[in-house]
Amino acid sequence: MFKLSKIVVVVLVLTVNARAQVAGIFDYPLPREEYNSGKNEFLQIGTNKKAHLGEDWNNKGLIGGDSDYGDPVYCVADGVVEIVRDINYKDSWGKVLVIKHELPSGAEVFSVYAHLSEIKVRSGRVSRGQEICAIGNANGFYKGAAHLHFEIRTELWWPSDHGYASLRSEGTSRWITLADLDGYLDPTLFIGERYESSPFYTEIDNWIIVEPRKLAVPNMSYVTGGDESGESFSVGLSAALTNGWLDPIVYQYDFERGEWVVFDDFWTRAEYDFVFGPNEAYAFYTPNGAVHAVYLLGSGNNYPERRARQDVLLYARSLGLLTVDLASLDVQILENVYYRFAAANCRLDFDQNFFVIIATDKKIPLARYGTYYDYAAGFWGLDWSRLGFQFDVAP
Lowest mean pLDDT among 90-94, 108-112, 113-117, 259-263: 90-94
Are 39 and 58 contacting, i.e. CB atoms less than 8 angstroms apart?
yes
Task: Over range 29-41, report the average pLDDT.
Answer: 87
pTM confidence score: 0.87
Domain 35-192 has CATH 2.70.70.10: yes
pLDDT tier at 124, thresholds 50, 70, 90: very high
Compute the distance between CA of residue 227 and CA of residue 243 in angstroms, rounded to an integer: 10
Q: Is the pLDDT of residue 114 over 90?
A: yes
Q: Is the pLDDT of residue 12 over 50?
A: no
Q: What is the pLDDT of residues 228-238, one digit of tens each?
A: 777 788 889 98
Q: Is the pLDDT of residue 281 over 60?
A: yes
Q: Is the pLDDT of residue 5 over 50?
A: no
Q: Is the pLDDT of residue 134 over 60?
A: yes
Task: Over range 48-69, report the average pLDDT.
Answer: 87
Compute the distance between CA of residue 395 and CA of residue 393 in angstroms, rounded to an integer: 6
Q: Is the pLDDT of residue 16 over 60?
A: no
Q: Is the pLDDT of residue 6 over 50?
A: no
pLDDT tier at 349, thresholds 50, 70, 90: confident
Q: Is the pLDDT of residue 9 over 90?
A: no
Longest dimension (CA), the chain: 68
Q: Which amino acid is at 160?
A: S
Task: Over range 151-155, report the average pLDDT.
Answer: 93
Query: For the residues of 24-73, what is the DSSP string, one character each?
Result: -S---SS-TTTEE-TTS-TT-B-TTSSEESSEEEEETTS-STTTTTT-EE
Residue percentage of the chain with pLDDT more than 70: 88
Compute the distance between CA of residue 75 and CA of residue 90 in angstroms, rounded to an integer: 27
Mean predicted lDDT score pLDDT of the chain = 85
More confident residue, 395 or 166: 166
Q: Is the pLDDT of residue 11 over 60?
A: no
pLDDT tier at 363, thresholds 50, 70, 90: confident
Task: Over range 317-337, report the average pLDDT.
Answer: 92
Cβ of 165: how many Cβ atoms within 10 Å? 19
pLDDT tier at 269, thresholds 50, 70, 90: confident
